[in-house]
Each structure stands twice: as C-alpha cells, then as structure tokens.
Amino acid sequence: MKINSKDFRVRPGEKVKLREWPTIVKPFCKSKKRYQKLLEEHVEELSSLQRLHYASDRYALLLIFQGMDAAGKDGAIRHVMSGVNPQGCQVFSFKQPSAEELKHDFLWRTTRCLPERGRIGIFNRSYYEEVLIVRVHPEILRGQGLPDELRDEKTIWNERYRSIVGLEEHLHRNGTRIIKVFLHLSKDEQRKRFLERIDEPDKNWKFSISDINERKYWKHYMDAYEDCLNATSTHHSPWYVVPADDKDNARLIVSQIVLDALNELKMAYPKTTAKRRRELKSIRKRL
C-alpha cells in the first residue's frame, strides 16, 4: 500500500476540524516484518538524500514536531532519523522558557537554533508552543513581561500567527524549507500510553503528574491546534496531520513526508572543475 504524504497535508485556507481527521488509518504493512523492512528502506533512502543535501549545501530543512504528551514525537524522531549522519542533523527540544529567553520576543530562542544550509534541523516542540500551551494557560502569557497593551487576548494570537507566518516566509525566501508535523493522538490512546508508563518500570521516567493535569484541558488544546493549523499551514510551510494512534504507521508516514520534502529540492553533488581534476591527478601520482 503506497503512502501518499499529500493525504495528510493541510491545504492553505482549509478549515481544520480535528474530530474529522482520523487518529488511526489502515496499516500500510500487513506484518511487523514488512513494516521493519519498509522503514529500513525509507531510512536508507533518507540517509542517501541527507548526504546529497549536506554536499550540495544550498538548502536547510527544518522539521517541526508537535503533539499532545505521549503522541510519539521522540519515537518518530529516533526511528525515522536513525540513519542520518549526526554531523548533518541537529535536534532541539524546547521546554519551559528560561528567564533569559523571556526577556526576548517569543521567536528568539528558537531562531537561534535554526539549521544551517546543508543541514536538517529538528524541533521537538517549537515556537508553536506560544500559541498552544500559552493560549490554553493564559497565566503563562501574563508572566511573560509584555506591556499590557501587547497582551490583549482578543488580538495577540492572530498577531502571533502573523509573526510566525512572516518568519516562515522569510526563511523560505532564504533557502530554508519547513515541514511541520502534528501527531494526532486520540485521548483514549494517550490514556493507554500513560498506563504503560506507570506499569512498566523502564518507562516510569517518562511519566509526570503534570501529564495527567493537562488531560483536563484536552478540548482546549484541540481548539488551539485547530486555530493554529488553519492560520499557519501555507504553500511554502505546510502542516501535516499524522494519525498517531498506531506508532508504526505514524513513523512510515513521517518518513515519507521527509523523503518527499528532500526529493523536491534541486540538489546535486558539486561539480569538479578541470583545475581541480588536474590537482587530483597530480596528488594521485604521489600516492
């Protein structure tokens, strides 16, 4: 069964209703063995394209992963990017902002971590937290030190969407391609994964009481995600809503999305000049 990444893409101007988007789809593989083989093929192709991307040194690729707790962000990054050379890949996880970060605009701390040309940058959570968790918990906004006139909750979210879209347009014009993945998890599946974290000793470290507290705000988060997806999925920087209840399927979809993004870039290995060829031939004779 072929994976079409466009099936999961949020078209610009589309009104997203997450309850109408599936959290699980028919498995792309009939067996675990077939899944592992297909993922290995994706990883191998991704590794090859990453080497070309690094050598061509013309574009940067930024992958943004968002989702509710236990949606599988860490696992997707670990499995899909397992074959990528660490020299060409940078991963950043963004937690609660530091005191220094709160002294700057909300995009500052992530902008410092943008990938260089030739590299793949991965954001495990991102500047989108500023229109998600901060929107669900307005007390965070009130603690960010903004002037009163700049934190009007009737206007600030649209203004932040504008800032985000403006940044992403700027990056696109300067060679950074951005792929944004929302791992769409159901509330029931999240509960199952939380129970696993409690019941399995080697997963206890993943569990926090705050995870349970946030479940009370599930609907608020879904509303915030819907508004965010509607406002910020553009032609140059699209969102993909990936069904996340089946981890294997989700990883295959994510890997296909990344492969398609890299294949769309006009990449080539640097051509050797006649002068360089003469130099190499001269060096060869000395060996």
For 147-158, what is the mean pLDDT? Answer: 91
Side chain identity at residue 244, one-letter code: A
Q: Does the pLDDT value for residue 285 go beyond 90? A: no
Reading phi first (left if > 0) and then psi (alpha if -120 to 50, else beta), residue 182 is in beta
Give the residue with greater pLDDT, 277 vs 49. 49
Percent of the chain with pLDDT over 70: 100
Give me the pLDDT at residue 94, please.
93
Using one digit for the tens of pLDDT, what is the confidence trace for 5-25? 999 999 998 899 999 999 999
What is the rounded distance in angstroms from the CA atom of residue 173 to the CA atom of residue 279? 37
**End-to-end CA distance of the chain, in Å?**
51
For 160-183, what is the mean pLDDT? Answer: 98
Q: Does the pLDDT value for residue 1 go beyond 80? A: no
pTM of model > 0.85: yes
CATH number of residue 259's parent domain: 3.40.50.300
- Of the pLDDT bands very low, low, confident and very high (cuts 50, 70, 90), residue 86 is confident
Give me the pLDDT at residue 234, please.
97
The per-residue pLDDT of the chain, averaged, comes to 94
For 253-274, what is the mean pLDDT? Answer: 92
What is the rounded distance in angstroms from the CA atom of residue 134 to the CA atom of residue 94? 14
Give me the pLDDT at residue 106, please.
96
Q: How many domains does the chain have?
A: 1
What is the rounded distance in angstroms from the CA atom of residue 130 to the CA atom of residue 252? 29
Give me the pLDDT at residue 272, please.
81
Using one digit for the tens of pLDDT, what is the confidence trace for 182-209? 999 999 999 999 999 999 888 888 888 8
- Of the pLDDT bands very low, low, confident and very high (cuts 50, 70, 90), residue 244 is very high
Taking the CB of residue 187, how many other CB atoms lie within 10 A of it?
A: 12
Q: Which of 86, 59, 39, 96 is nearest to 267 (CA)?
A: 59
Give me the pLDDT at residue 140, please.
93
Using one digit for the tens of pLDDT, what is the confidence trace for 27-50? 999 999 999 999 999 999 999 999
Residue numbers of the domain that contains 163: 5-286
Rg of the Cα atoms in the chain: 21
Give me the pLDDT at residue 287, please.
81
Give me the pLDDT at residue 195, please.
94
- Of the pLDDT bands very low, low, confident and very high (cuts 50, 70, 90), residue 63 is very high
Q: Does the pLDDT value for residue 263 go beyond 90? A: yes
